[in-house]
Structure 1
Amino acid sequence: MLHATSTALHSSISPRFTAPFFILQYADDTLIFSTIRENALQVLQLVLCLFQLASGLRINAQKSFFVPLSLTPAQADAIIHLFGFNTSALPIEYLGLPLTLGKPDRSCFMPLLQKIESRLQGWKNCFLSRAGRVTLASSVLTALPSYFMSVFLLPRWLIDAIDKARKRFIWGTNHEGKQRVHLVAWDKLCLPREVGGLGLRNIMLQNQAFLLRWLWFLYNNHTSLWFKTTSKIYSPIRGNVPPLVWNKNGSFFWKDIRSLRYLFQISTRSDIASGLNTSFWYDNWAGKPLVPILKRTTRPPREKINYKQGIASLDSLLPRPWELTTQLLLQNHQATLHSEENDRLIWRWTASGNFSVSSFYITFSKAGKLSNGLSFLWSFKIPPSLKCFLFLLSNNKLLTQQQLLKRNLLSLPPHCVMCNQSLLEDSLHLFFSCPFTTLVWLRLRNRFNLPPLVESFSVRESLSATLQQRSTDKFFQTRLSTFFWATWRERNNRIFRGSSRNVELMCNWIQSESSLYLKHC
């Protein structure tokens, strides 16, 4: 009905939108944009009345409101009298997100932080292990901002606030309410497990992955409202040039999307067909975009030319002599043009060539990182709490006397409570060279035919060398993990509770616990 009445009015919302009305509908939410010129509001009110009569539905004026933009108080009062709606002001919430004219300010994101804090308050009094807290932080706290991240490039202060909440929850507080020691750097916790991290999500990288989807849609979904609207506003010749060379000035959302263009360039590759839909300068058709290479030798070009035009004018476009990198790219790229086919954009991080958020995140979270060789710890048949313990052990982050001294928290003289030697206790001594510990493992070796402990120059190397003796033996992995855990528990019981067990009791406990792990994990 609104579209039908639009032809009778000679007014428009803006020079870009020639119709007097523009409507967005999702489920039971309806958002109507209208001009006030040429009796447009009277026509809109008549359409709404006819809709109610024809459908039998009624518009709830108490739940509806209008937002005046650049209107005088007299005009706003006339609208209130005409529709009976309440008035409101931007920002308003639409589909769970703040709708604003400009970049959202701090107040727009506060409901998200409050939601995260409310979850933390509900979990505060729960008796959770560190593994349980890691699971909740990874699955819930990281997922809460996902909806916002799919639309907004989150400001740095908000990312820091979310990370601070996750850190505070994972490491916990003591009985006095003070924050416990953060044993491992946050950047390392956010690395994938395959490269030595804990697998927590990097909020900034995940945010970029979500927003790159909008650029992908511009290249591959020309029938969508998103492409039609954006190309009409930002493309100088109605979308016939690649989106990366559209106008750089625009709304905050468009600027945020364009700020990720370099990530998009290295994540995509153009499969040339006609050469008409690929930018010669900015799209990645030769393995690398040409503009970043040319920045080292000359000013980047401003021409918005496609691949076909560029290949035909190489001598006049590229400075002579050609830089070696440019020359190699052009020599290795040979494309046969087919005028009847469109160029295709290929996503480099998936086998199918189609975009996915997870492929970008996985690729860039591992970029430049090498595996620490102990990622298989997470596949052991042991409880999650023991896996977190082994993670701390492999990174030499357990709070032994050495680590306490490093943090200026050691108040007692150096002493090993397991063997009563006057030396500075560290993880390498406690788990691999302490006489009491080695005696316990010797009993376990004789009982279960296990290989010896291998002591090296670091805890990680010692742990890796010991496990590599039987890298696929689940029985050995579980016994060894339980042995390390029992040693740490015994050490803490002797320090904080004044209780101790002999070698035989230790071995019996390790045997019974590891049997339960093998059966139920």
Structure 2
Amino acid sequence: MEANPRNLFVVKDILTNFSLLSGLKINGSKCLFVPIQIPAASLPVFSQILGCAPVNLPITYLGLPLSIRCPRKIHFKPLLDAFQRKLDGWQSKFLSLGGRLTLIKSVLTALPLHYMQVIKLPPWLIKHLDSIRRSFFWKGAGKCLGGHCLVNWAKCCLPKKCGGLGILNLSIQNQALLMKWLWKLQKEPDSTWASTVNLLFGSRDIPTLLADGRTSAAFRDILHYNDFFSSSICNPGLPQQLTWKWSTIGEYSSASSYRILADPGMRSPYHILLWKIKAPPKVRIFLWLILLDRVLTQQNLARRNWPSITSCQCCSEGCMETSVHLFVHCTFAKQIWTQLQIRFNLPLLAFTTDLPAFWLQNRQTIGPSWDIIWAASSWAIWKERNSRIFASNRLTASRLVVEICATIEVWKKMA
């Protein structure tokens, strides 16, 4: 409101009448008013009229930083503190990759959504939040250096159908949420939001608003998404007939916008099959890693210049331990596949030169039942390999096949 005594008395009377009618008492000690470009000499008079104290911008309003200037780093400290509180309360070292992925999607990714609906997050903040999520996923605690990240974070943030883990890309989600205001501006001309914009700037036309020098930095950030927004609507200028191309019902939704913006156009040949395998989440993530050849075999350790024994520890052939060798061509692995072939009465297996082909080609001849056999066997081979290296324990192929069969029966009963 305009800072003059008459306006202040009107507001005070409205609040007093509301208090009398509702029986609710207004606590002046919990109220405040924000003076903008008001002489300091006038503040005591205004404070006496309103019965509350003045406070300068920036302030926190509805959980968000409110300022007439661009938010600074200090204004996002509550968000960063919320991340840290969550991380401090989790026993991250005892969580599997599946458990960490669930917490990232359901908790850490949800924390900044309140901010992202109103403010375009600065690049430094998105980079910092991504580093926290990345470190938590790959390492659990502490800083995550390049060698700890088995897959590029941008790849992890791709949708599952594109070969990623489906973790939300914060920058794209931010844009999808902010474009909701452009939709309301065009679709709902009688809404409070559209009416306020029209009153302040005399227009709801987005190009006109972009050219208006009075728009705030936060509002301009939203208006700059107009290129994608304009190309995604039909019947512009007709609010009653305005439709959103990417939604089946023609209404804007941040989910439909994110789906289009986050889709790079490529498709993974196995994404639908992989994430439907009846196995624990940590095993499905492990399978995703071996299909990308990102598990820490001796070959991949050597690529990272980590000290390691280059030869395969599951056979005596002295071969370099690669993913294909360990899970397909190793004599120990072949013994396991041969015994499983006899136990489950499978046709002859095709021992291909890459892991995706080994899974998919044998699936064509065996059928969907091959998925759980391949998953349980690959997981068991990896655990046996680690047991031989780090604990000096060795199981025979026959004993490991028994454990694989028991694992398959347990996984089949999973919901």
Same fold, TM-score > 0.5, yes or no:
yes
Residue 518 of structure 1 pairs with residue 397 of structure 2: no
Partner of 1:136: 103
AA matched with 1:183: L
Partner of 1:246: 209
CA distance in 2, matches of 1:401, 1:437: 16
AA matched with 1:254: F
1:122 deviates by 0.7
For residues 379-458 of structure 1, the aligned pairs below 5 Å read 379-412=276-309, 414-458=310-354
For residues 292-441 of structure 1, the aligned pairs below 5 Å read 344-412=241-309, 414-441=310-337
Rg larger in 1 or in 2?
1
Residue 111 of structure 1 pairs with residue 78 of structure 2: yes
Select the structure that is richer in helix.
2
Partner of 1:159: 126
1:53 deviates by 4.3
Partner of 1:229: 196
Partner of 2:226: 261
Residues 396 and 460, structure 1, Cα contact 8 Å, conserved in 2:
no
For normalisation by structure 2, the TM-score amounts to 0.93
Residues 195 and 375, structure 1, Cα contact 8 Å, conserved in 2:
no
Q: Deviations over 1:52-104 (max 9, x none)?
A: 44544322111011111111221012222333312211111221111111221
Partner of 1:189: 156
Q: Deviations over 1:364-392 (max 9, x none)?
A: 22232222334311101111111011011
Q: Secondary structure at the match of 1:507?
A: helix
Residues 374 and 464, structure 1, Cα contact 8 Å, conserved in 2:
no
Q: 1:183 to 1:353 in 2, by over 3 A?
A: same
Of residues 484, 499, 505, the one that matches 2:393 is: 499
AA matched with 2:228: L
The percent identity for this pair of structures is 34
AA matched with 1:383: P
AA matched with 1:39: R
Pairwise CA RMSD of aligned residues?
A: 2.2
CA distance in 1, matches of 2:271, 2:7: 68
1:177 deviates by 8.2
Segments of 5+ residues of structure 2 without an aligned counterpart are none
1:178 deviates by 7.1
CA distance in 2, matches of 1:359, 1:213: 11
Residues 432 and 454, structure 1, Cα contact 8 Å, conserved in 2:
no
Q: 1:362 to 1:178 in 2, by over 3 A?
A: closer
CA distance in 2, matches of 1:453, 1:138: 38
Residues 432 and 453, structure 1, Cα contact 8 Å, conserved in 2:
no
Q: Secondary structure at the match of 1:520?
A: coil
AA matched with 2:191: S
Residue 468 of structure 1 pairs with residue 329 of structure 2: no
AA matched with 2:323: S
CA distance in 2, matches of 1:482, 1:57: 64
Runs of 4 or more above 6 Å deviation: none
1:125 deviates by 4.9
Structure 1 stretch displaced more, 458-467 or 346-355: 458-467
Residue 70 of structure 1 pairs with residue 33 of structure 2: no
Segments of 5+ residues of structure 1 without an aligned counterpart are 1-33, 272-276, 279-341
AA matched with 2:250: G
1:247 deviates by 4.2
CA distance in 1, matches of 2:197, 2:366: 59
Residues 294 and 300, structure 2, Cα contact 8 Å, conserved in 1:
yes
Aligned length: 412
Q: Secondary structure at the match of 1:58?
A: coil
Partner of 1:89: 56
